[in-house]
């Protein structure tokens, strides 16, 4: 036995034992344990294998900086790889598994890499796997992938739920150690809206491991009392298990709350994790300081740990990480750990102090080796001893754990995530955060204050300063009484000379001292280059322990100050954030809103097969019994409209009502064709250009009154056209007197098309809809029989006699049902988007397949719509530029295959007959194609150079993707009723 | 980019409520202006580091076009005002 | 042929009519009269004053010179007529009673529920009773009004109501949010 549970002490609940498993072995822990403390209590130090050499690795830390103890938690789809055992909260039934080993932790085949280590130096992959290129995919990568990597990602669908949430506060306090608690108390008492967030599952931070009494009571009791007071304040929000991972613009902080990561069976009512965005007027970073490892020979042996972690395991969790512990320190912190361990009855084998002299006092009876250094360690899967060197003499000391303490680095990541560079403090021998302003302060150990009284005072002072800054009055801080603490000084020690085996800098990525030396020699000495070249700090721990030592080593090797080396860039996220949490509830069908047409129920009842169309969910076709393919349904729908009558949902078109004395003038400026003289009661087809002269959108606009218009847009650009019109009205021409608003959702709109459309419409509408009373392009408010008010438009996309009837949305389904009922005698059918597309291609009407942002009005045959009479309109000036009026522009044409049974697909290229199939010979392209049941063959719309002069010519339709070449005849794009006789029935 | 935009009509809002069009200093030229003037207006854009005035629309809020003056490097927002200078407002 | 048409609520079938309200409750207005009022340029202040003077009207700010005027008592036609008479040439009134859905969220957790979708600060010091604004809730733009300390009304475009209802139920899951049509 080496590691074990102490008989007493700690903040674990010994009355609440928990059973968990590690690599299938059942173990016992207590409520309040982490997985790491639970493992140590069961004498499990070896928990993983390193990334590159597969070296055995043990628990190093007691927090988020942990490089080694990465495990996979949970089962099946719920598996969570690369979880730090040092922060994972223990719960009954927790199933944890080690990673990166095969077949087992103790006997790992990959460890052969360790024997090959002379060949696996930094940059090895870059140098070795460069050539030949073909080998990369076939040989090198599969081997590397098999050997490397940590936990395995789960391929099953993530069953967890996530959500996002906003919070707003006057002061966000990050970290609830002594500094953060005092800051939250001060600000909370002053009445500020405070959020106190801590990554741990229990508030208190370092106070939970602290042995110095506060106000005469244990530090943890002080923390508990502070939390009780804060909980009672309605203006304070306490968040545990919440990591503030990023600082963004305007003091918005990202935080991840692990809501149910610590329960065996998550409740379906709650998300498993919650992503917070916290908008804070002021924020205080109270994240403490990180103890540094020492870089000495054999420092990665399982059992070599951070000294502070040994204290934490003993004081907070009641766990001894070893029976005989050596301390290796360059400052006073190591002596504190020795005292903590001694107090728990854990034997301290020796304190090895790198300093020749120091004022620190060891527990009585403890051997102190001043001016000593560890040059090697003994043991295989577990430390069994160390080799200490002093004044040229070596000695072997038996021990099963080493507590190393290399000084402290303030945890300043968040303050430096927005470009501010950490500053080197010669006094602190550490990088500190510069003044980042913007109401984001740093306090306590994170600001380089290491004694408990100083931290308590600093937290109170800085919170009060923020409170006063925000206009809150404060009373002098009521600071607790703390006994004097020893001076927490240390002497920088970047590398322990005389190493007899590898001295690791980055445990997780297996970077050792000589790798950094190689990087320097090969010209990658810049701290950012060295990181990429050696992979130091690139693992999941992001160099929390290794970064500062790499900087110190690079400085020492060059004989310069760490200030001149600097740190690598601190970026969000401070600790990993799952993709699921970033997506929140926006996944699967909820990734975007689903817009529902007011006629949805009608369509569903009529057998609609729906399709996503932008945000809408629209009927594609209406399948009837016996129809085996979608084409059968579509052909029937098209022929029914051409012969009888059909009903189509066009509610999704954008509808904008425009009011005011200048409404007509405004429309005259946003459309390229004239609108001033549009009579009341009439609709007109309009083309909107972009300022560069290209067509933007099209639609019909109707004048319902002298100062009242209703504009329709395409479904796709309903939002864009509204924004464009708002820009024109608000920014370009604010002097025009008009107002408008979208009424898209107010109206259910139905197209009733076909030679028998009038019979159907007249059956419902009170007003006379005859050709004489209501001719093509008529538009007006109508009354339906029974009194319902609606709007009727005589417009046609299909080329048939057609009406569009709009009624208030709630009545849509009932009116559509009534139209179907009225049309039954006339053979009515519902038709969907596919039939609508066939009908409009047959008629040569354009959609955004043609109006793709590259076409001018003339390209699609609307050149005459460009008004030369108007002084100005959007796109007028640039529509006349040379390139847009060139004679060889591609113009819209119709295309018919010479062999009638040949298929045409949109996207194919057009070539001259006999030309070599090459884009160099490109003459144009196919924009829309369909099977025309009326013509009994495939037809297409396309764009062809000088196309309107080439009717009758044969061109090749070249579908490069499918390797097809089809000979086709160029023709007018209007395949059906070119004289428009059917429109005016 | 800023995380929060103080809309003069709606208050402080997250950036996802807005859409950005670009340079607010451009003035739409007279239709008779030269090709070069129009080319500059429609196609040519500076990409300045530092202070920049842009048109942003509060699409998910009041739908007003705003002028946001911000620093493209530090992301600081200096001012947000309504994009329309309306004659009846200036005359008040 | 019968020419009486049923007015179908877009959330019909998705919201029960007979659920007793829990501590946190989402009520869907079965019928509502909602008219968009657009003040004529220059008439913004006068229109705002007139709207505020009529106690039967609830005018929700959506943009400068633009309000959603809601009445629980009147039919859409009568509300539209009343507003047209009240405002005359000073404003344009557009009936949106069918184009919008009105939801009422009440309960001690109403704010916590909304914070999962909306980025504006809902603390009473920042968004007090009587205030309203257009705001993004999740992916959807809505008009949000605080009608009580723990009561909010949400007006959403009809085509988005189904998705918003789903989102709000998700957001309220932790608090056992109930939903029902408003009697």
Question: What pLDDT is stored for residue B89 in this prediction?
Answer: 47
Rounded Cα–Cα distance for residues A479 and A178 (Å): 11
Residues C87 and C105 in one domain: no
Could you give the count of Cα atoms lying within 13 Å of B38 in the half-sphere of its Cβ? 18
Which residues from C are below 8 Å from A759, CB to CB? none
Tell me the pTM: 0.94
C128 plus C76 within the same structural domain: no
**Cβ–Cβ below 8 Å for B88 and C62:** no
Spatial separation of the C-alpha atoms in residues A602 and A50, rounded to whole Å: 62
Tell me the chain C residues in contact with residue A595 when contact means C-beta distances shorter than 8 Å: 159-160, 163
Q: Which residue of C has its CA nearest to A737?
A: C41
Is residue A276 within 8 A of residue A254, CB to CB? The reply is yes
Stretch A658-662: mean pLDDT, rounded? 97
Predicted confidence band at B1 (pLDDT cuts at 50, 70, 90)?
low
> CA dihedral in degrees (B9, B13, B17, B20; nearest 10)?
80
CB atoms within 10 A of CB C152: 24
Chains that touch C (3 or more CB pairs under 8 A): A, B
Task: Judge if C103 and C88 occupy the same domain.
Answer: no
Same domain, C148 and C160: yes
- Which 106-135 residues of chain C touch chain B by CB within 8 A? 119-121, 126, 133-135
Full DSSP string of A579-630? HHHHHTT--GGGSS--B--TTHHHHHHTTEEEEEETTEEEEEEE--TT--SH
Task: Report the pLDDT averaged over residues A93-113.
Answer: 78
Task: State the Cα–Cα distance between residues A834 and A843, nearest whole angstrom.
Answer: 14
Return the pLDDT at A522: 94
Of the candidates A268, A739, A822, the beta carbon closest to that of C38 is on A739
Residues C50 and C107 in one domain: no
| Nearest chain B residue to A419, by CA | B74
B14 touches chain C (CB under 8 A): yes
Asked, for residue C5, whether it belongs to a domain, the answer is no
Q: Which structural domain, as residue segments, surrounds residue C54?
A: 33-95
Is the pLDDT score of C72 beyond 90?
Answer: no
Q: Tell me if B14 sits within 8 A of C119, measured CB to CB.
A: yes
In a domain, C67, yes or no: yes
Domain boundaries, chain B: 4-28+35-90
Whether A19 and chain C come into contact, CB under 8 Å, resolves to: no
d(CA A875, CA A872): 8
Using CB atoms, pick whichever of A593, A657, A813 lies closest to residue C163. Answer: A593
Q: Among C140, C159, C167, whose Cβ lies nearest the Cβ of A597?
A: C159
Percentage of chain A exceeding pLDDT 70: 95
Q: Mutating which of A277, A810, A816 best tests the C interface, going by the most C Cβ atoms within 10 A?
A: A810
At C18 the three-state DSSP class reads coil
> CB-CB: which of B12, B31, B82 is closest to A876?
B31
Residue of chain C minimizing CA distance to A275: C116
Encode pLDDT of A41-63 as tens digits.
Answer: 999 999 988 877 888 999 999 99
Question: Which among A709, A719, A683, A636 is positioned nearest to A797, based on CA atoms?
Answer: A683
As for how many domains chain C has, the answer is: 2
Angle, CA of A559, A561 and A566, to the nearest 5°: 120
Q: What is the pLDDT of residue B91?
A: 38
Q: What is the pLDDT of residue A922?
A: 96
In whole angstroms, give the CA distance from residue A924 to residue A239.
62
The answer to whether residue C141 sits within a structural domain is yes
Residues C113 and C177 sit within 8 Å (Cβ to Cβ): yes
Q: Which residues of A touch B19 (CB under 8 A)?
A: 723
Record the tokens describing residue C20, joined without a space: 């007793």
Q: Of C52, C77, C95, which marks where a domain is finished?
A: C95
Q: Check CB contact of A281 with chain C, cutoff 8 Å.
A: no
| From A248, A730, A877, residue closest to B64, measured CB to CB | A730
> Domain spanning B4-28+35-90: which superfamily?
Folate-binding superfamily (3.30.2270.10)
- Minimum distance, in Å, between the CA of residue B18 and any CA atom of chain A: 12
Residues C90 and C49 in one domain: yes
Q: What is the pLDDT of residues B29-74, one digit of tens each?
A: 999 999 999 999 999 999 999 999 999 999 999 999 999 999 999 9
Residues C105 and C54 reside in one and the same domain: no
Does residue A437 sit at the B interface (CB-CB below 8 Å)?
A: no
Mean pLDDT of chain A: 94
Tens of pLDDT, residues A764-790: 999 999 999 999 999 999 999 999 999
Out of C41, C121, C136, name the one closest to residue B16 (CB).
Answer: C136
The token pair at B32 is 């008779």
Question: Does B14 have pLDDT greater than 80?
Answer: yes
Residues C47 and C60 in one domain: yes
Coil/strand/helix, residue A646: strand
Distance from CA of C183 to the nearest CA of B (A): 30
Residues C110 and C173 in one domain: yes
Q: Which residues are bridge partners to A700 per DSSP?
A: A685
In this predicted structure, the answer to whether residue A392 has a pLDDT above a threshold of 60 is: yes
Evaluate whether residue C16 is within a structural domain: no
Closest to B26 (Cα-Cα) out of B48, B50, B54, B1: B54
- Among C72, C95, C118, the domain boundary falls at C95
The answer to whether C63 contacts B14, with C-beta atoms less than 8 Å apart, is no
Domain boundary among C41, C62, C95: C95
Q: How far is CA A278 from CA A168, A234, A242, in A?
A: 6, 18, 12
Q: Which chains touch B (3 or more CB pairs under 8 A)?
A: A, C
d(CA C107, CA A368): 65
Q: Do C109 and C163 belong together in one domain?
A: yes
Q: Specify the DSSP class assigned to residue A154.
A: P
What contacts 24+ positions apart, CB below 8 Å, involve A144-149? A147/A110, A147/A113, A148/A51, A148/A52, A149/A51, A149/A100
Q: Which of residues 33-52 of B touch C (CB under 8 A)?
A: none
**Whether C129 and C163 share a structural domain:** yes
Q: What six digits make up the tokens of A673?
A: 């064709």
| Cβ-contact A374, A387 below 8 angstroms | yes
Chain C closest CA to B68's CA: distance in Å?
18
Give the one of B31, B77, B83 whose C-beta lies nearest to A731's C-beta. Answer: B83
Question: Which two structure tokens, joined as six digits, stand for A272?
Answer: 């498993």
Q: B59 and C141 in contact by Cβ < 8 A?
A: yes
Sign of CA dihedral A134, A138, A141, A144: negative
Does the complex come out with an ipTM higher than 0.90? yes
Whole-number pLDDT of residue A136: 56
Query: Cβ of C41 and B17 within 8 Å?
Result: no
SS3 readout for A708-727: EEEEEECCCCHHHHHHHHHH
Residues of C in contact with A235 (CB under 8 A): none
Report the alpha-carbon distance of residue C120 to residue A171 in Å, rounded: 17
The verdict on C177 and C103 lying in the same domain is yes
Yes or no, beta carbons of C136 and B17 under 8 Å apart: yes
Average pLDDT over residues A949-968: 95
pLDDT grade, residue A6 (50/70/90)?
A: very high
A494-550, pLDDT tens digit by residue?
A: 999 999 999 999 998 889 999 999 999 999 999 999 999 999 998 888 999 999 999
Question: What is the per-residue pLDDT for B92?
Answer: 34
A605: contact with C, CB 8 A cutoff: no
Residue among B11, B16, B62 minimizing CB distance to C63: B62
Contact B88/C41, CB-based, under 8 Å? yes
CB contact under 8 A, A743 and C163: no
pLDDT at C77 (0 to 100): 94
pLDDT at B88: 42
Q: Is residue C135 assigned to a domain? A: yes
Contact call for C136 and B62, based on CB within 8 A: no
Residue C137 has pLDDT above 80, yes or no: yes
Q: Which domains does chain A have, with CATH numbers?
A: 4-113 (3.10.20.440), 162-289+410-469 (3.50.50.60), 600-652+746-840 (3.30.1360.120), 654-742 (3.30.70.1400), 887-985 (2.40.30.110)
Q: How many CB pairs under 8 A join A and C?
A: 143
Q: Is the pLDDT of residue A84 over 60?
A: yes
Beta strand pairing status for A423-425 and A430-432? antiparallel
Three-class secondary structure of residue A753 per DSSP: strand
């Amino acid at each position: 036995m080496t590691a074990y549970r102490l008989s007493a002490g700690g903040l674990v609940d010994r009355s609440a034992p928990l059973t968990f498993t590690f690599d299938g072995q059942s173990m016992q822990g207590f409520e309040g344990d982490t997985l790491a403390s639970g493992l140590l209590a069961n004498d499990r130090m070896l928990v993983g294998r390193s990334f590159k050499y597969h070296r055995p690795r043990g628990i190093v830390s007691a927090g988020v900086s942990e490089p080694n103890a990465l495990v996979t938690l949970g089962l099946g789809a719920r598996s969570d790889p690369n979880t730090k055992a040092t922060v994972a909260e223990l719960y009954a039934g927790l199933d944890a598994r080690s990673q990166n080993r095969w077949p087992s932790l103790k006997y790992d085949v990959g460890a052969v890499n360790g024997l090959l280590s002379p060949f696996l130096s930094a940059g090895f992959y870059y140098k070795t796997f460069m050539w030949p290129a073909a080998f990369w995919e076939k040989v090198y990568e599969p081997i590397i992938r098999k050997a490397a990597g940590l936990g395995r990602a789960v391929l099953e669908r993530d069953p967890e739920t996530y959500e996002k949430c906003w919070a707003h506060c006057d002061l966000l306090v990050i970290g609830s150690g002594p500094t953060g608690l005092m800051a939250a108390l001060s600000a909370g008492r002053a009445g500020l809206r405070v959020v106190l967030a801590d990554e741990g599952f229990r508030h208190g931070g370092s106070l939970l491991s602290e042995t110095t009494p506060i106000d005469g009571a244990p530090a943890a009791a002080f923390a508990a009392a502070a939390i009780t007071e804060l909980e009672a304040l309605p203006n304070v929000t306490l968040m545990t298990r919440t990591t503030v991972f990023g600082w963004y613009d305007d003091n918005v902080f990202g935080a991840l709350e692990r809501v149910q990561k610590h329960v065996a069976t998550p409740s379906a009512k709650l998300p498993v994790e919650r992503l917070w965005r916290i908008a804070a007027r002021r924020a205080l970073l109270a994240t403490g300081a990180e103890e540094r490892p020492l870089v000495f020979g054999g420092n990665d042996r399982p059992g070599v740990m951070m000294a502070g972690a040994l204290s934490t395991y003993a004081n907070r969790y009641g766990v001894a990480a070893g029976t005989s512990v050596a301390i290796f320190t360059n400052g006073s912190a190591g002596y504190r750990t020795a005292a903590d361990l001694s107090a728990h009855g854990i034997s301290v084998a020796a304190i090895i102090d790198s300093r020749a002299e120091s004022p620190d006092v060891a527990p009585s009876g403890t051997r102190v080796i001043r001016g000593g250094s560890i040059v090697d360690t003994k043991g295989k899967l577990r430390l069994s001893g160390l080799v200490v060197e002093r004044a040229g003499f070596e000695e072997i000391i038996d021990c099963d754990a080493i507590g190393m303490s290399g000084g402290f680095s303030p945890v300043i990541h968040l303050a430096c995530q927005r470009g501010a560079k950490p500053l080197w403090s010669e006094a602190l021998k550490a990088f500190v955060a510069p003044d980042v302003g913007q109401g984001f302060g740093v306090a306590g150990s994170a600001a380089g204050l290491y004694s408990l009284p100083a931290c308590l005072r600093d937290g109170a002072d800085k919170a009060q300063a923020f409170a006063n800054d925000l206009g809150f009055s404060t009373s002098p801080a009521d600071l607790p009484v703390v006994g004097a603490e020893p001076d927490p000084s240390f002497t920088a020690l970047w590398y322990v000379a005389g190493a007899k085996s590898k001295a690791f800098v980055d445990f997780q990525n297996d970077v050792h001292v000589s790798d950094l030396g190689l990087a320097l020699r090969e010209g990658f000495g810049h701290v950012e280059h060295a990181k990429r070249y050696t992979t130091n700090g690139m693992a999941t721990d992001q160099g929390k322990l290794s970064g500062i030592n790499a900087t110190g080593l690079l400085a020492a090797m060059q004989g310069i100050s760490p200030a001149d080396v600097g740190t690598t860039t601190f970026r969000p996220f401070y600790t990993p954030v799952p993709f699921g949490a970033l997506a929140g509830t926006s996944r699967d069908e909820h990734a975007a809103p689903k817009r529902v047409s007011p006629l949805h129920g009608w369509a569903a009842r009529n057998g609609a097969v729906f399709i996503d169309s932008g945000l809408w969910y629209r009927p594609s076709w209406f399948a009837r019994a016996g129809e085996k393919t979608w084409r059968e349904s579509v052909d029937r729908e098209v022929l029914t409209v051409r012969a009888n009558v059909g009903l189509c949902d066009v509610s999704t078109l954008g509808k904008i009502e425009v009011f005011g004395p200048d409404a007509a003038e405004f429309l005259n400026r946003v459309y390229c064709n004239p609108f001033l003289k549009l009579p009341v009661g009439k609709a007109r087809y309009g083309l909107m250009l972009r300022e560069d002269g290209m067509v933007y959108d099209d639609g019909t606009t109707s004048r319902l009154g002298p100062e009242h218009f209703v504009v329709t847009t395409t479904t796709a650009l309903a939002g864009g056209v509204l924004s464009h019109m708002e820009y024109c009205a608000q920014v370009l021409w604010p002097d025009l007197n008009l107002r408008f608003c979208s009424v898209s959702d107010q109206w259910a709109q139905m197209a009733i098309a076909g030679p028998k459309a009038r019979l159907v419409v007249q059956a419902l509408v009170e007003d006379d809809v005859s050709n004489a009373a209501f001719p093509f392009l008529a538009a007006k408010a109508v009354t339906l029989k029974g009194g319902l008010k609606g709007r009727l438009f005589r417009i046609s996309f299909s080329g048939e006699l057609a009406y569009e009837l709009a009624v208030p949305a709630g009545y849509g389904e009932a009116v559509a049902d009534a139209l179907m009922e009225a049309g039954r005698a006339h053979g009515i059918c519902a038709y969907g988007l596919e039939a609508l597309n066939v009908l409009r291609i047959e008629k040569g009407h354009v959609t955004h397949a043609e109006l793709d942002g590259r076409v001018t009005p003339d390209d699609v045959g609307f050149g005459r719509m460009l008004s030369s009479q108007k002084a100005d309109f959007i796109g007028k000036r640039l529509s006349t530029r040379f390139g847009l009026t060139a004679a060889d522009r591609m113009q819209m044409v119709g295309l018919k295959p010479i062999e009638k049974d040949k298929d045409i697909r949109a996207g194919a290229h057009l070539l001259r007959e006999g030309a070599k199939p090459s884009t160099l010979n490109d003459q144009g392209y196919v924009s829309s194609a369909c099977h025309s049941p009326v013509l009994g063959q495939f037809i297409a719309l396309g764009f062809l150079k000088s196309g309107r002069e080439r009717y009758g010519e044969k061109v090749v339709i070249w579908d490069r993707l499918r390797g097809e070449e089809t000979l086709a005849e160029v023709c007018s794009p209007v395949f059906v009723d070119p004289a428009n006789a059917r429109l005016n029935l | 980019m800023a995380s929060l935009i103080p809309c003069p009509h709606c208050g402080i809002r997250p950036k996802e409520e807005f859409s950005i069009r670009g340079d607010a200093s451009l003035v739409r030229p007279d239709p008779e202006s030269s090709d070069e003037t129009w080319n500059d207006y429609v196609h040519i854009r500076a990409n300045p580091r530092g202070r920049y005035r842009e048109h942003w629309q509060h699409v998910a809020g009041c739908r007003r076009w705003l002028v946001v003056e911000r620093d493209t490097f530090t992301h600081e927002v200096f001012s947000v005002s309504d994009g329309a200078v309306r004659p009846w407002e200036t005359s008040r | 042929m019968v020419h009486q048409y049923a007015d179908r609520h877009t959330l019909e079938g998705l919201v029960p009519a007979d659920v007793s309200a829990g501590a946190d409750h989402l009520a869907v207005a079965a019928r509502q009269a909602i008219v968009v009022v657009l003040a004529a340029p220059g008439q913004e202040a006068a229109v705002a004053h007139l709207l505020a003077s009529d106690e039967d009207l609830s005018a929700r700010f959506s943009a400068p010179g633009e309000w959603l005027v809601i009445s629980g008592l009147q039919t859409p036609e009568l509300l539209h007529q009343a507003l047209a008479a009240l405002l005359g040439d000073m404003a344009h009134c557009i009936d949106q009673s069918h184009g919008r859905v009105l939801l009422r969220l009440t309960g001690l957790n109403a704010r916590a529920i909304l914070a999962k979708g909306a980025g504006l600060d809902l603390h009473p010091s920042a968004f007090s009773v009587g205030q309203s604004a257009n705001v993004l809730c999740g992916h959807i733009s809505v008009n949000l009004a605080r009608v009580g300390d723990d009561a909010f009304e949400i007006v959403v475009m009809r085509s988005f109501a189904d998705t918003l209802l789903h989102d709000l139920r998700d957001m309220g899951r932790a608090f056992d949010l109930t939903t029902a049509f408003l009697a």
